[in-house]
Amino acid sequence: MENRERNPKWKNPPLYIDMSICINCDTCIRHCPPQFGAIFNHGMDVIIIPELCSGCNKCIEPCPVDCIHPVEGDVETPLDWWEAPEDDDPYR
């Protein structure tokens, strides 16, 4: 991940979470395969880091509010998403 690019073998687009719908239940975090670990709490938001998301869709079906969708087009991950979670994360 040092160059922060998606694996070119992943054919499905990465996913994103629509935070206007998300209820912060963390179901998606529990269903993201540990070998990818693409979904995190980031402050009050839940985020999917596109470079880590294989597009496997394992988080979509268990989501109770249907807030996870494929990314359309290129996406640039904000630099602060690469930082370790803060100790004051209200969901930990």
> Tens digit of pLDDT for each residue in 20-43?
999 999 999 999 999 998 999 988
The C-alpha angle with vertex 62 and arms to 56 and 54, in degrees rounded to 5, equals 15
Of 80, 78, 82, 90, nearest in space to 43 by CA: 90
Contact 39, 47 (CB under 8 A): yes
CATH class of 1-74: alpha beta
Region of poorest pLDDT, from 15-19, 54-58, 75-79, 81-85: 81-85
Tell how far CA 13 is from the center of its chain.
12
Three-class secondary structure of residue 68 per DSSP: strand
Q: Reply yes or no on whether the pLDDT at 2 is more than 80.
A: no
Predicted structure pTM score: 0.79
